[in-house]
Structure 1
């Protein structure tokens, strides 16, 4: 395909119907290529803005600022491979497992943001918010619409599975959602519970084994071990404030003695 044909195909893809209709008259003009490029750039920018708003990722620390030395165990290579988004091509799920404060949500949000930048649709939600919302719906039609909303994005990020316990209905709803997305779209989950303890998250739910099996089939499971980074930062802030107070005390006592 020569340059002129390529430009015309791009104009058709943009649905610039007036331009395409008069292509024989203006196709060779110098302004056509910049015009098409500007339109592509502007539409891509607006599309990204719409998807970012719809994703509701919130604020998070960039991967470039992540302290890889803090966790006692973390597979950095595996996480950097996730940033290539190859897992999306096979609709593979991703599960981050680890205790509170080791960066599970931050890493998951970075992967999801990378997917947004590359044109995919994303939705971020906490497990509690999503399951509470679904369980509160009374009519079947409302539930179907809401399930579709969570099932539709290319990437669904479910944060904080395991921080609360849920009823059998919640378990059934999560199983239904995971089943709808199974092998068609990627789901990212963060959890502080190993899979063997999910029966504590969904006590007495008959579908727990099937739920885990469906979620982890061909999934990338990233286990992270270590102390909470938030506690580390809190200790450091406390130490800084203590030193500042001690310094002020010394200055005050010195001034009083003079």
Structure 2
């Protein structure tokens, strides 16, 4: 096969291939293949975006890097290359509420989608609740396989709720399945020393942290909530508009 035939075969355009001797040198063939590849790529991205549940987010270009009192901008921008996914490195974004952890994670998830990876963006509470609610071992194994197969699993808000030993065991099982195969991105407002508060009665917490952090990159953000800052600015603007004119 020449290059055009290979592209047609990859697109499974069997009708075109069946008549290849008749149309091989037609001027419209390269354009047709271009259109088909572009349309399939667009539809694939739309489907993966829908499945990923990334939601609306602020682009990283609009992030106020000067607002956090601690923020390694270079490290975050390096993550956007997605090189950490090549060796299944995990990423932790640690910091208080409203500092921008989720926004950074959403940008990384979107970049991974653009590069053709499968992605799921989900809160820890929703995922663990989903797993814990399944009846029967076969259904649980099937769902664990689905979560384990995702190229980049983004777990948001680890530490905002506390979980039972059952939830901890499920997260440990999923971590084992993804270990050294796929990357997991976690946003949390708790240091690892505080994860006993997240899984207060779990025996596997130390092992869970050990497995998650074995191949990982940790980025800490510190400072006041950006949402509080924006709310304060909006209140000031509204107060100015309400001020009576003299």
**Which range, TM-score by smaller chain?**
over 0.9
Trace 1:39-118 onto structure 2 (pairs within 5 A): 39-118=36-115
Q: Does 1:191 align with 2:201?
A: no
TM-score w.r.t. length of structure 2: 0.96
Query: Which sections of structure 2, spanning at least 5 residues, go unmatched?
Result: none
The one-character-per-residue Cα deviations of 1:201-253 (angstroms, maximum 9, x if unpaired) are: 111211111111111112111111111001111111111122222x23xx3xx
Distance 2:16 2:238 in 1: 65
Shift of 1:21: 2.5
For 2:82 and 2:8, how far apart are their aligned partners in 1?
A: 29
Partner of residue 153 from structure 2, selected from 128, 148, 156: 156
Give per-residue Cα distances to partners, 1:156-178, cap 9 Å, x unaligned. 11000001111111100111111
Aligned-residue offset at 1:22? 2.4
Moved more, 38-47 or 18-27: 18-27
> Of the candidates 15, 19, 30, which is equivalent to residue 27 of structure 2?
30
Aligned to 2:205: 208
Q: How does 1:217-236 map to 2 (within 5 A)?
A: 217-236=214-233
Query: Is 1:7 aligned with 2:7?
Result: no
Please give the secondary structure, in 2, of the residue aligned with 1:187: strand
2-structure distance, mates of 1:229, 1:149: 35
State the distance in 2 between where 1:125 and 1:143 align: 18
Is the 2:88–2:215 contact (alpha carbons within 8 Å) kept by the matching residues of 1?
A: no
1:172 aligns with 169
**Residue-by-residue CA offset, 1:62-120 (whole Å, 9 max, x unaligned):** 11111111111111111111111111111111110011111000000100000111111
What secondary structure sits across from 2:210 in the alignment?
helix
User: Aligned equivalents of 1:57 and 1:149: distance in 2?
Assistant: 17
Q: TM-score, normalised by structure 1?
A: 0.92
Gaps of 5+ in 1: none
Distance 1:12 1:112 in 2: 31
Q: Deviations over 1:127-157 (max 9, x none)?
A: 1111112112221122122222222211111
Cα-to-partner distance string for 1:39-72 (whole Å, 9 max, x where unaligned):
0000001100110010011111111111111111
Distance 1:20 1:210 in 2: 55
